[in-house]
Amino acid sequence: ARYTIGVLRNAELAPLVYPGWKVRVYLDKTVPKPVVSQLEALGAQLQFMDDKAMGGGIGGMFWRFLVAADPEVDRFIIRDSDSRLNPRERLAVEEWIVSGKRIHSLRDHPNHDRPLNGGMWGGVRNVVPDMAKLIRSWTKRDNYMADLDFLNQVIWPRHDIKLSQISHDAYTCHKYPNARPFPTRRPADYQHVGQVFFGDGRPRTADITGFMLGVKVPLQCRGSPEWHSG
């Protein structure tokens, strides 16, 4: 329920947070038909994948990356279905668009300390034209965190990626190239981009109490000096 409820909620949020953008969902036949019908009613583009295409199970985490090779898509962002679209990320995306860079990465939690996170990056048309081939050749698709390893070992090192990217980073902005603070102040409830929500709509508070609560972000990662939480 965490993922099906989440994808429906994001499909509802998308016209408010990203007007003019299209929601695309990569899925297989295990998704309940009522959920599929609701997604269709909300105007989502549904990309049904063969359950053996590029590895089922955890391998399905890679399907969303295929958009990076779609010549029909001008610009894309990839998000996890159990997170929620929010204005904080939208304003960061606007800065990326203005920058003219080909890749955008978001890091808004201490655990986001890597160049690219699976559901927190975006790119422009055909930014990785050989994405399907690269995924097929990655033999460790069903390993834990395989999608993150793939992004950071295969995609990030490419010169046309690493040298044409911008990131918004609340905790490790000193560590990665062309990183900058988020343009908006973090809400008082410690909402963060990529925040995980349960099926009943509750946020996973352990991500806040265990890592963020009372922790001041580095001064250089703040949009303004008084934004102690980022």
CB atoms within 10 A of CB 3: 14
Asked, for residue 68, whether it belongs to a domain, the answer is yes
Say what the pLDDT of residue 26 is: 95
Per-residue pLDDT of 90-134, as tens digits, reads 999 999 999 999 999 999 999 999 999 999 999 999 999 999 999
Range of the domain at 71: 59-221
Return the structure tokens found at 69: 């090779």
Asked, for residue 118, whether it belongs to a domain, the answer is yes
Q: Do 107 and 161 meet the contact criterion of CB atoms below 8 Å apart?
A: no
Picking from 145, 155, 161, 153, the residue whose alpha carbon sits closest to that of residue 104 is 161
Q: Given 3-state DSSP classes, what are the helix, strand and coil percentages for the chain, each rounded to the nearest 5? A: 35, 15, 50
Picking from 11, 21, 136, the residue whose alpha carbon sits closest to that of residue 69 is 136
Say what the pLDDT of residue 52 is: 62
- Phi and psi dihedrals of 189, rounded to 5? -90, 10
Say what the pLDDT of residue 1 is: 85
CATH of the domain at 113: 3.90.550
Asked, for residue 45, whether it belongs to a domain, the answer is no
Say what the pLDDT of residue 55 is: 59
How many domains is the chain partitioned into structurally? 1
Asked, for residue 28, whether it belongs to a domain, the answer is no
d(CA 218, CA 229): 9
Task: State whether residue 157 is helix, strand or coil.
Answer: coil
Which residue ranges in the chain fall short of pLDDT 50? none
